[in-house]
Structure 1
Amino acid sequence: MFARELSGGRQNSTHYLYYESYIFPQRTVPPGWDRLLRDPRQPPCRPGRHRKGAEGPRLRPERCPLAEGKHVTALLDHWKATGIADQTIRNRLSWLRDWSVWIGKPGLLPNTNEAFGLKERTPYQGNKARAADAATLEGVANERVRLALQLEAAFGFRREEVLKARPLVADRGDGIQLKASWTKGGRPRFIGLSHPRQRQLLDAWKAMVGDGSLIPAGMNYVQFLQTYKHETRRAGLGQAHGFRHAFAQWRFKTLTGQPCPAAGGKTVEAMTVAEAARLQISRELGHGRISVTDTYLGRRRAAKAAA
């Protein structure tokens, strides 16, 4: 066990748990925190707060003897040795930064990943936008999955969001309010309606599921996710992320009146409104950084010529 390797092979009353590359002494983990160890994006409580009814010690920095910089380095070396992609490592480091704040050690990791020797990001890797038209969705037999893909293209939903959301609750008349429990990272967001097609799809969504979600009765999210994956792969759509790209590019053209760079448009230097439009699209997609839009819309600035 990797945790034993880090502890020097010693075995004593404080033995170590290893969940998804996270290491803790068992005695420091209050009830409910095992969920955080398995999925660090969903902590059971915030710093200084304890879940109602929970018993056991609070998770304090002085009770986490393994939470030191050398252990972060060891984890990073372990991830690299096992062939984990740099982007996956970036995601895990982001979770670790959140976790370090929750335990009261915000300086455990540096704010950037420059010191970790990860490859430079390549945010734009070609135009991946995919239209949710009849020809594209022809191979999707499940009507709920087909509607989910149409909603992803119309509202920029992530896969988990569109499957979990309840339209009767989310519909605000002029847009959709996504609850924190439906979204990635627990970040609620509002997506306004700007085209009649969006209202048509929203009404069709409510008519299909009523007060529920796209997850059918008798199934949970994990089970229906497998149905979703089976349908999209059989139809040759992969993870179907291209529909979010299509939404972002449509919103860019709506906000600026011009196509984005990925679709042959101009870069930020040539468009005074592009920066504000990208920031709004980033928020509608559930991100908070304008740099993320390069993935969906193409590079903001023209590539520098080689010297």
Structure 2
Amino acid sequence: MIVVVGSYNVDFLIKVRDFPSEGETVFSDGVYIDHGGKGSNQAVSASRLGGNVRLISAVGNDEFGKRAIKFWEDERLDVAYVKIKNALTGSAYIVFDRRGRNFIVVNRGANALLSEDDLDGCLNGDILLTQLEVNENVVKKALKEFPGVKVLNPAPAVLNDNSLLEYVDILTPNEIEFKELTGTQDLNYGIDLLLKKVKRAVIVTLGERGAYIGTRERRILIPTLAVDAIDTTGAGDVFNASLAVYLEKGYSLERAVRISNIISAYSTTRIGALGPRLSEVSELIEKE
């Protein structure tokens, strides 16, 4: 069982040819409404790869919240511990350009109301996957009490209580988050700093360059698949979902990262933040 503790947002995706300058108005090439939020993205993407996934999240008592629960049920998630709050469902506004770059503005909504008490009775399984789009005290409780392997995707990397890292087995920042957490761009030096607290490994995702694995014994760059990316939104979520699935299957960390790189790269060739189904990437994985 993979347990995901995290956020849900309604994603409003806005496609533009080029980002506007300050004060400039540009026309969009299309607007799309989709399911998002890092917790939901990772949970659904893991389920699509064949994972048995429980989602612990919060939605509002509005139409978007109802649609989210129906969507998760259709994606075969365990939604027994999803909480309905007296608030608006979270939302995200994602602008992406023809180069696949993006920027995102998030309204947390019901995500901010997920509480420590909401975790009672549901923290059991093999892999915990969590992020920082819900309250930090909720994330810390999940990491402290979960009995299996604990993966923290520190996004966004706004961490007030650094002791939280002491309960993390595997930390998966991207380059920006890595610098925010360590104050350096030097991968080896920064990983050394993080491994003073993180138990097992730090994996820094590097976009088209792949992912860099750092443990106390070894450092290795794992290359990724070369693709023509059109939308990088959610690529990190797909990577983390894939990592959880293949770690649960018993793959080595290095092998799981290699496969996760492939699936994440493939996901950037399509619009949207959700990952592919296993049938779409099985041939690519077999060739790796």
Give the TM-score normalised by the residue count of structure 2. Answer: 0.23
Structure with higher helix content? 1
Structure with higher strand content? 2
Choose 1 or 2 for highest CA Rg: 1
Give the TM-score normalised by the residue count of structure 1. Answer: 0.22
Ranked by relative contact order (alpha carbons within 8 Å, sequence separation 6 or more), the top structure is 2
